[in-house]
Structure 1
Protein backbone atom coordinates (compact mmCIF):
# COMPACT_ATOMS: atom_id res chain seq x y z
CA UNK A 1 0.00 0.00 0.00
CA UNK A 2 2.85 2.37 0.76
CA UNK A 3 4.18 1.88 -2.76
CA UNK A 4 0.87 3.02 -4.21
CA UNK A 5 0.99 6.15 -2.07
CA UNK A 6 4.54 6.89 -3.22
CA UNK A 7 3.53 6.66 -6.87
CA UNK A 8 0.84 9.27 -6.22
CA UNK A 9 3.21 11.76 -4.65
CA UNK A 10 4.73 14.52 -6.71
CA UNK A 11 8.49 14.56 -7.19
CA UNK A 12 8.82 17.46 -4.72
CA UNK A 13 6.71 15.67 -2.11
CA UNK A 14 8.84 12.53 -2.47
CA UNK A 15 12.02 14.61 -2.06
CA UNK A 16 10.51 16.23 1.06
CA UNK A 17 9.68 12.77 2.44
CA UNK A 18 13.30 11.78 1.83
CA UNK A 19 14.50 14.83 3.79
CA UNK A 20 12.14 13.92 6.64
CA UNK A 21 13.45 10.33 6.59
CA UNK A 22 17.01 11.58 6.91
CA UNK A 23 16.02 13.88 9.80
CA UNK A 24 14.49 10.90 11.60
CA UNK A 25 17.66 8.89 10.98
CA UNK A 26 19.63 11.83 12.41
CA UNK A 27 17.47 11.86 15.55
CA UNK A 28 17.90 8.08 15.88
CA UNK A 29 21.63 8.52 15.46
CA UNK A 30 21.83 10.92 18.40
CA UNK A 31 19.64 8.70 20.59
CA UNK A 32 21.86 5.73 19.74
CA UNK A 33 24.98 7.77 20.57
CA UNK A 34 23.49 8.78 23.93
CA UNK A 35 23.15 5.08 24.78
CA UNK A 36 26.61 4.12 23.44
CA UNK A 37 29.16 6.50 24.99
CA UNK A 38 28.76 9.17 22.28
CA UNK A 39 29.55 6.66 19.50
CA UNK A 40 27.39 6.17 16.44
CA UNK A 41 27.02 2.73 14.83
CA UNK A 42 30.09 1.53 12.96
CA UNK A 43 29.81 2.25 9.26
CA UNK A 44 32.42 0.24 7.43
CA UNK A 45 33.84 -3.23 7.77
CA UNK A 46 35.78 -5.81 5.84
CA UNK A 47 33.47 -8.52 7.19
CA UNK A 48 32.18 -10.41 4.11
CA UNK A 49 28.50 -10.59 3.24
CA UNK A 50 26.89 -14.03 3.02
CA UNK A 51 26.13 -15.29 -0.47
CA UNK A 52 22.61 -16.20 -1.52
CA UNK A 53 19.66 -15.57 0.79
CA UNK A 54 21.19 -15.28 4.28
CA UNK A 55 19.85 -17.18 7.25
CA UNK A 56 18.90 -15.41 10.46
CA UNK A 57 22.03 -16.86 12.03
CA UNK A 58 24.23 -15.45 9.26
CA UNK A 59 22.60 -12.03 9.64
CA UNK A 60 23.09 -12.18 13.40
CA UNK A 61 26.77 -12.99 12.98
CA UNK A 62 27.44 -10.05 10.65
CA UNK A 63 29.55 -7.24 12.03
CA UNK A 64 27.29 -4.42 13.31
CA UNK A 65 28.52 -2.17 10.49
CA UNK A 66 26.65 -4.42 8.08
CA UNK A 67 23.59 -3.86 10.24
CA UNK A 68 23.73 -0.11 10.94
CA UNK A 69 20.09 0.13 9.85
CA UNK A 70 19.11 -2.52 12.41
CA UNK A 71 21.14 -0.67 15.05
CA UNK A 72 19.03 2.46 14.52
CA UNK A 73 15.57 0.88 14.02
CA UNK A 74 14.86 0.72 17.78
CA UNK A 75 15.32 4.49 17.83
CA UNK A 76 13.16 5.17 14.76
CA UNK A 77 10.54 2.49 15.45
CA UNK A 78 9.94 2.44 11.72
CA UNK A 79 12.26 0.83 9.21
CA UNK A 80 10.41 2.68 6.44
CA UNK A 81 12.52 5.77 7.12
CA UNK A 82 15.45 3.92 5.55
CA UNK A 83 13.71 3.86 2.16
CA UNK A 84 13.56 6.94 -0.03
CA UNK A 85 10.26 7.11 -1.94
CA UNK A 86 12.26 7.75 -5.12
CA UNK A 87 14.47 4.66 -4.64
CA UNK A 88 13.41 2.48 -7.56
CA UNK A 89 15.37 -0.49 -6.23
CA UNK A 90 13.40 -0.45 -2.98
CA UNK A 91 10.08 -0.58 -4.86
CA UNK A 92 10.86 -3.13 -7.53
CA UNK A 93 8.66 -6.21 -7.75
CA UNK A 94 10.45 -8.02 -10.57
CA UNK A 95 13.55 -9.56 -9.07
CA UNK A 96 15.56 -8.86 -5.97
CA UNK A 97 16.02 -5.14 -5.25
CA UNK A 98 19.46 -5.68 -3.77
CA UNK A 99 22.33 -8.05 -4.56
CA UNK A 100 22.09 -11.51 -2.99
CA UNK A 101 18.57 -10.76 -1.76
CA UNK A 102 19.85 -9.01 1.36
CA UNK A 103 16.65 -7.01 1.79
CA UNK A 104 16.99 -6.78 5.59
CA UNK A 105 20.19 -4.83 5.07
CA UNK A 106 18.85 -2.58 2.32
CA UNK A 107 18.62 1.14 2.82
CA UNK A 108 18.28 3.96 0.30
CA UNK A 109 21.00 5.89 2.10
CA UNK A 110 24.71 5.30 2.44
CA UNK A 111 27.46 6.57 4.68
CA UNK A 112 29.82 9.33 3.68
CA UNK A 113 32.94 7.20 4.01
CA UNK A 114 35.36 10.07 3.44
CA UNK A 115 34.64 11.47 6.90
CA UNK A 116 37.68 11.53 9.18
CA UNK A 117 37.91 10.83 12.90
CA UNK A 118 36.80 7.21 13.02
CA UNK A 119 38.59 4.46 14.90
CA UNK A 120 38.58 0.77 13.96
CA UNK A 121 37.58 -2.23 16.02
CA UNK A 122 39.28 -5.63 15.79
CA UNK A 123 37.11 -6.68 12.82
CA UNK A 124 37.84 -3.53 10.83
CA UNK A 125 34.58 -1.75 11.65
CA UNK A 126 34.87 2.03 11.86
CA UNK A 127 33.37 3.71 14.93
CA UNK A 128 32.86 7.40 15.36
CA UNK A 129 32.48 9.39 18.56
CA UNK A 130 30.42 12.50 17.85
CA UNK A 131 32.44 14.55 20.34
CA UNK A 132 35.65 13.97 18.38
CA UNK A 133 34.35 15.85 15.35
CA UNK A 134 35.37 19.52 15.35
CA UNK A 135 32.43 20.79 13.27
CA UNK A 136 29.49 18.33 13.17
CA UNK A 137 27.44 20.79 11.09
CA UNK A 138 29.86 20.37 8.18
CA UNK A 139 30.48 16.61 8.57
CA UNK A 140 28.18 14.58 6.28
CA UNK A 141 26.93 11.37 7.89
CA UNK A 142 24.88 9.82 5.10
CA UNK A 143 23.21 10.72 1.81
CA UNK A 144 21.02 9.40 -0.97
CA UNK A 145 22.52 6.33 -2.53
CA UNK A 146 23.95 7.45 -5.86
CA UNK A 147 23.73 4.07 -7.63
CA UNK A 148 22.07 4.46 -11.00
CA UNK A 149 20.43 1.94 -13.29
CA UNK A 150 22.68 2.40 -16.31
CA UNK A 151 26.08 0.71 -16.51
CA UNK A 152 28.99 2.38 -18.23
CA UNK A 153 31.40 0.61 -20.61
CA UNK A 154 33.31 -0.87 -17.65
CA UNK A 155 30.09 -2.39 -16.28
CA UNK A 156 29.91 0.03 -13.36
CA UNK A 157 26.62 1.70 -12.48
CA UNK A 158 26.81 5.46 -13.05
CA UNK A 159 26.04 7.66 -10.04
CA UNK A 160 22.56 9.17 -10.21
CA UNK A 161 20.55 10.97 -7.56
CA UNK A 162 16.98 9.72 -7.16
CA UNK A 163 15.98 13.39 -6.96
CA UNK A 164 17.49 14.58 -10.22
CA UNK A 165 20.00 17.42 -9.94
CA UNK A 166 20.19 17.39 -6.12
CA UNK A 167 21.07 14.86 -3.43
CA UNK A 168 19.98 15.01 0.20
CA UNK A 169 22.69 14.89 2.88
CA UNK A 170 22.34 14.26 6.61
CA UNK A 171 25.05 15.94 8.66
CA UNK A 172 26.35 14.74 11.99
CA UNK A 173 24.61 17.55 13.87
CA UNK A 174 21.27 16.25 12.54
CA UNK A 175 20.44 18.85 9.90
CA UNK A 176 19.68 17.85 6.30
CA UNK A 177 20.43 19.82 3.16
CA UNK A 178 19.96 19.31 -0.56
CA UNK A 179 23.19 19.69 -2.50
CA UNK A 180 23.78 19.79 -6.26
CA UNK A 181 25.00 16.52 -7.73
CA UNK A 182 28.46 16.88 -9.29
Structure 2
Protein backbone atom coordinates (compact mmCIF):
# COMPACT_ATOMS: atom_id res chain seq x y z
CA UNK A 1 0.00 0.00 0.00
CA UNK A 2 2.86 2.38 0.86
CA UNK A 3 4.65 1.85 -2.46
CA UNK A 4 1.43 2.35 -4.42
CA UNK A 5 0.64 5.60 -2.58
CA UNK A 6 4.12 6.99 -3.24
CA UNK A 7 3.88 6.18 -6.94
CA UNK A 8 0.48 7.90 -7.17
CA UNK A 9 1.90 11.08 -5.58
CA UNK A 10 4.84 11.15 -8.00
CA UNK A 11 2.61 10.65 -11.02
CA UNK A 12 0.18 13.38 -9.89
CA UNK A 13 2.89 16.08 -9.78
CA UNK A 14 5.45 17.45 -12.29
CA UNK A 15 9.14 16.80 -12.14
CA UNK A 16 11.67 19.63 -12.19
CA UNK A 17 12.68 18.69 -15.74
CA UNK A 18 9.08 18.88 -16.89
CA UNK A 19 8.61 22.29 -15.28
CA UNK A 20 11.78 23.63 -16.89
CA UNK A 21 10.69 22.24 -20.25
CA UNK A 22 7.35 24.06 -20.00
CA UNK A 23 9.10 27.31 -19.03
CA UNK A 24 11.45 26.97 -22.01
CA UNK A 25 8.56 26.35 -24.40
CA UNK A 26 6.66 29.36 -23.05
CA UNK A 27 9.76 31.54 -23.43
CA UNK A 28 10.25 30.44 -27.05
CA UNK A 29 6.60 31.04 -27.89
CA UNK A 30 6.71 34.47 -26.20
CA UNK A 31 9.78 35.40 -28.22
CA UNK A 32 8.08 34.35 -31.45
CA UNK A 33 4.93 36.28 -30.52
CA UNK A 34 6.88 39.43 -29.68
CA UNK A 35 8.78 39.20 -32.97
CA UNK A 36 5.53 38.84 -34.90
CA UNK A 37 3.95 41.78 -33.06
CA UNK A 38 7.09 43.88 -33.59
CA UNK A 39 7.12 43.05 -37.29
CA UNK A 40 3.44 43.92 -37.62
CA UNK A 41 4.00 47.27 -35.90
CA UNK A 42 6.91 48.12 -38.20
CA UNK A 43 4.82 47.21 -41.25
CA UNK A 44 2.10 49.52 -39.96
CA UNK A 45 4.61 52.35 -39.46
CA UNK A 46 6.05 51.76 -42.93
CA UNK A 47 2.57 51.84 -44.44
CA UNK A 48 1.75 55.10 -42.61
CA UNK A 49 5.00 56.64 -43.86
CA UNK A 50 4.16 55.59 -47.43
CA UNK A 51 0.71 57.12 -47.04
CA UNK A 52 2.24 60.36 -45.77
CA UNK A 53 4.42 60.64 -48.85
CA UNK A 54 1.51 59.89 -51.19
CA UNK A 55 -0.46 62.72 -49.57
CA UNK A 56 2.56 64.97 -49.96
CA UNK A 57 2.71 63.95 -53.61
CA UNK A 58 -0.92 64.93 -54.13
CA UNK A 59 -0.25 68.31 -52.50
CA UNK A 60 2.71 68.91 -54.82
CA UNK A 61 0.63 67.96 -57.85
CA UNK A 62 -2.03 70.47 -56.80
CA UNK A 63 0.68 73.09 -56.34
CA UNK A 64 2.13 72.46 -59.80
CA UNK A 65 -1.31 72.71 -61.40
CA UNK A 66 -1.64 76.18 -59.86
CA UNK A 67 1.90 77.26 -60.86
CA UNK A 68 2.26 76.44 -64.54
CA UNK A 69 3.49 72.88 -63.89
CA UNK A 70 6.47 74.09 -61.86
CA UNK A 71 7.65 72.31 -58.71
CA UNK A 72 8.24 74.27 -55.50
CA UNK A 73 11.91 75.04 -54.94
CA UNK A 74 13.74 73.52 -51.99
CA UNK A 75 14.46 76.77 -50.16
CA UNK A 76 15.52 80.35 -50.72
CA UNK A 77 17.10 82.93 -48.42
CA UNK A 78 16.68 86.42 -49.86
CA UNK A 79 19.80 88.56 -50.11
CA UNK A 80 18.39 91.84 -48.85
CA UNK A 81 15.92 90.78 -46.19
CA UNK A 82 17.34 87.43 -45.13
CA UNK A 83 13.82 86.03 -45.19
CA UNK A 84 13.61 82.31 -45.87
CA UNK A 85 11.10 80.30 -47.85
CA UNK A 86 10.97 76.51 -47.70
CA UNK A 87 9.13 73.91 -49.78
CA UNK A 88 6.79 72.91 -46.93
CA UNK A 89 5.41 76.45 -46.85
CA UNK A 90 4.31 76.06 -50.48
CA UNK A 91 2.46 72.77 -49.93
CA UNK A 92 0.90 73.78 -46.61
CA UNK A 93 -2.24 75.29 -48.22
CA UNK A 94 -2.92 71.93 -49.87
CA UNK A 95 -2.41 69.91 -46.69
CA UNK A 96 -4.07 72.26 -44.23
CA UNK A 97 -4.22 71.17 -40.60
CA UNK A 98 -2.83 67.77 -41.55
CA UNK A 99 0.59 69.23 -42.39
CA UNK A 100 2.24 68.28 -39.09
CA UNK A 101 1.03 64.69 -39.19
CA UNK A 102 1.76 64.15 -42.88
CA UNK A 103 5.34 65.39 -42.62
CA UNK A 104 6.26 63.04 -39.76
CA UNK A 105 7.22 59.40 -40.22
CA UNK A 106 6.05 57.33 -37.22
CA UNK A 107 9.42 55.53 -37.17
CA UNK A 108 11.25 58.84 -36.75
CA UNK A 109 11.02 58.65 -32.98
CA UNK A 110 13.08 61.69 -31.94
CA UNK A 111 10.93 64.11 -29.97
CA UNK A 112 10.61 67.81 -30.74
CA UNK A 113 12.91 70.04 -28.75
CA UNK A 114 10.25 72.74 -28.96
CA UNK A 115 6.56 72.00 -29.51
CA UNK A 116 6.30 75.18 -31.60
CA UNK A 117 8.61 73.55 -34.18
CA UNK A 118 7.28 70.07 -35.03
CA UNK A 119 9.69 67.55 -36.53
CA UNK A 120 9.76 66.95 -40.27
CA UNK A 121 10.88 63.52 -41.46
CA UNK A 122 11.13 64.24 -45.18
CA UNK A 123 13.38 66.25 -47.45
CA UNK A 124 13.38 67.26 -51.08
CA UNK A 125 16.15 65.73 -53.21
CA UNK A 126 18.70 68.39 -54.20
CA UNK A 127 21.72 66.22 -55.07
CA UNK A 128 24.00 69.27 -55.29
CA UNK A 129 21.49 70.97 -57.65
CA UNK A 130 21.32 67.88 -59.89
CA UNK A 131 18.04 66.84 -58.28
CA UNK A 132 14.60 68.40 -58.43
CA UNK A 133 15.08 70.69 -55.40
CA UNK A 134 16.54 74.03 -56.42
CA UNK A 135 17.91 76.26 -53.68
CA UNK A 136 19.27 79.77 -53.29
CA UNK A 137 21.28 81.22 -50.41
CA UNK A 138 21.47 84.99 -49.99
CA UNK A 139 20.57 85.58 -53.64
CA UNK A 140 18.66 88.51 -55.06
CA UNK A 141 16.15 86.36 -56.90
CA UNK A 142 14.49 83.10 -55.96
CA UNK A 143 15.74 79.91 -57.62
CA UNK A 144 14.27 79.05 -60.99
CA UNK A 145 11.50 76.57 -60.41
CA UNK A 146 11.95 73.23 -62.16
CA UNK A 147 9.14 72.53 -64.56
CA UNK A 148 7.70 69.05 -64.96
CA UNK A 149 8.42 69.11 -68.69
CA UNK A 150 12.14 69.37 -67.85
CA UNK A 151 12.11 66.01 -66.11
CA UNK A 152 13.02 63.19 -68.45
CA UNK A 153 11.35 60.34 -66.59
CA UNK A 154 9.02 61.43 -63.75
CA UNK A 155 8.31 57.81 -62.75
CA UNK A 156 12.04 57.23 -62.22
CA UNK A 157 12.98 60.51 -60.53
CA UNK A 158 12.87 60.89 -56.75
CA UNK A 159 11.26 64.08 -55.47
CA UNK A 160 11.13 63.50 -51.69
CA UNK A 161 12.56 60.93 -49.34
CA UNK A 162 13.07 60.34 -45.63
CA UNK A 163 15.75 62.40 -43.90
CA UNK A 164 15.86 62.05 -40.12
CA UNK A 165 18.14 64.75 -38.75
CA UNK A 166 18.36 65.49 -35.03
CA UNK A 167 20.70 67.25 -32.65
CA UNK A 168 20.05 64.35 -30.29
CA UNK A 169 21.96 62.07 -32.67
CA UNK A 170 24.86 64.44 -33.28
CA UNK A 171 23.65 66.51 -36.24
CA UNK A 172 24.00 70.27 -36.13
CA UNK A 173 20.30 70.86 -36.69
CA UNK A 174 16.92 69.25 -36.29
CA UNK A 175 14.70 68.64 -39.29
CA UNK A 176 11.73 70.77 -38.33
CA UNK A 177 8.83 72.20 -40.31
CA UNK A 178 9.44 75.65 -41.77
CA UNK A 179 13.23 75.63 -41.37
CA UNK A 180 15.76 75.42 -44.22
CA UNK A 181 18.08 73.11 -42.24
CA UNK A 182 17.64 69.52 -43.44
CA UNK A 183 14.86 70.57 -45.83
CA UNK A 184 16.86 69.13 -48.75
CA UNK A 185 19.13 66.10 -49.01
CA UNK A 186 22.11 65.74 -51.33
CA UNK A 187 23.22 62.13 -51.02
CA UNK A 188 22.00 58.73 -49.82
CA UNK A 189 25.04 58.57 -47.55
CA UNK A 190 23.85 61.62 -45.61
CA UNK A 191 20.39 60.09 -45.49
CA UNK A 192 21.76 56.84 -44.05
CA UNK A 193 24.03 58.47 -41.47
CA UNK A 194 21.70 61.16 -40.10
CA UNK A 195 19.26 60.83 -37.22
CA UNK A 196 17.54 57.46 -37.12
CA UNK A 197 19.04 56.73 -40.53
CA UNK A 198 19.01 53.06 -41.46
CA UNK A 199 17.04 52.23 -38.31
CA UNK A 200 13.90 53.82 -39.76
CA UNK A 201 12.76 50.78 -41.73
CA UNK A 202 15.51 48.19 -41.26
CA UNK A 203 17.83 49.76 -43.80
CA UNK A 204 15.13 50.76 -46.28
CA UNK A 205 13.69 54.18 -47.08
CA UNK A 206 10.47 55.39 -48.67
CA UNK A 207 10.84 57.45 -51.83
CA UNK A 208 8.23 59.71 -53.44
CA UNK A 209 8.69 60.01 -57.19
CA UNK A 210 7.72 62.97 -59.36
CA UNK A 211 4.77 61.08 -60.87
CA UNK A 212 3.31 60.63 -57.37
CA UNK A 213 3.99 56.96 -56.64
CA UNK A 214 5.94 55.77 -53.59
CA UNK A 215 8.46 52.94 -53.36
CA UNK A 216 10.36 51.43 -50.44
CA UNK A 217 13.93 50.68 -51.49
CA UNK A 218 17.46 50.35 -50.24
CA UNK A 219 19.62 53.40 -51.07
CA UNK A 220 21.89 51.24 -53.20
CA UNK A 221 18.98 50.53 -55.55
CA UNK A 222 18.44 54.23 -56.30
CA UNK A 223 21.86 55.52 -57.36
CA UNK A 224 22.20 54.07 -60.86
CA UNK A 225 25.84 54.13 -61.98
CA UNK A 226 26.70 56.63 -59.25
CA UNK A 227 27.76 56.10 -55.65
CA UNK A 228 26.22 56.74 -52.25
CA UNK A 229 28.31 59.94 -52.08
CA UNK A 230 27.68 61.02 -55.67
CA UNK A 231 24.38 59.49 -56.76
CA UNK A 232 22.99 59.34 -60.26
CA UNK A 233 20.03 57.27 -61.38
CA UNK A 234 16.87 58.20 -59.50
CA UNK A 235 18.58 61.10 -57.70
CA UNK A 236 18.82 63.26 -60.83
CA UNK A 237 16.17 64.47 -63.25
CA UNK A 238 18.36 63.85 -66.29
CA UNK A 239 17.15 60.97 -68.47
CA UNK A 240 20.55 59.72 -69.64
CA UNK A 241 22.34 58.69 -66.43
What's the TM-score once normalised by structure 2's chain length? 0.53
Shift of 1:125: 3.2
CA contact (8 A) 1:44 1:126 kept: no
Report the equivalent of 2:120.
Answer: 107
Query: Are residues 1:139 and 2:174 paired?
Result: no
**Aligned partners of 1:142 and 1:116: how far apart in 2?**
9
Q: Is 2:104 aligned against 1:83?
A: yes
The answer for the alignment partner of 1:158 in structure 2 is 193
Whole-angstrom CA distance in 2 between matches of 1:116 and 1:81: 21
Change in 2 beyond 3 A, CA 1:86/1:134 = same
Q: Which has the higher strand share?
A: 1
1:1-182 map, 5 Å: 10-46=41-77, 62-65=83-86, 68-77=87-96, 78-79=98-99, 80-89=101-110, 92=111, 96=113, 103=117, 106-114=119-127, 115=131, 122-123=140-141, 125=143, 127-147=145-165, 150-151=169-170, 158-159=193-194, 160-161=197-198, 162-182=200-220
Taking structure 1 as the reference length, the TM-score comes to 0.68
Per-residue displacement from partner, 1:119-166 (whole Å, max 9, x unpaired)? 9784453521112111111111010114375449xxx99331322210
Instruction: State the Cα distance separating 1:28 from its structure 2 match.
Output: 0.5
Q: Number of residues paired by the alignment?
A: 151
Deviation at 1:72, TM superposition (A): 0.7
Contact 2:72 2:90 in 1 (8 A): yes
Give unpaired runs (5+ residues) of structure 2: 1-39, 172-189, 221-241
Taking a change above 3 Å as real, the CA distance of residues 46 and 37 of structure 1, as seen in their structure-2 partners, is same
What is the rounded CA distance, in whole Å, between the counterparts of 2:133 and 2:150 in structure 1? 7
SS in 2 for 1:34: helix
Equivalence for 2:226: none
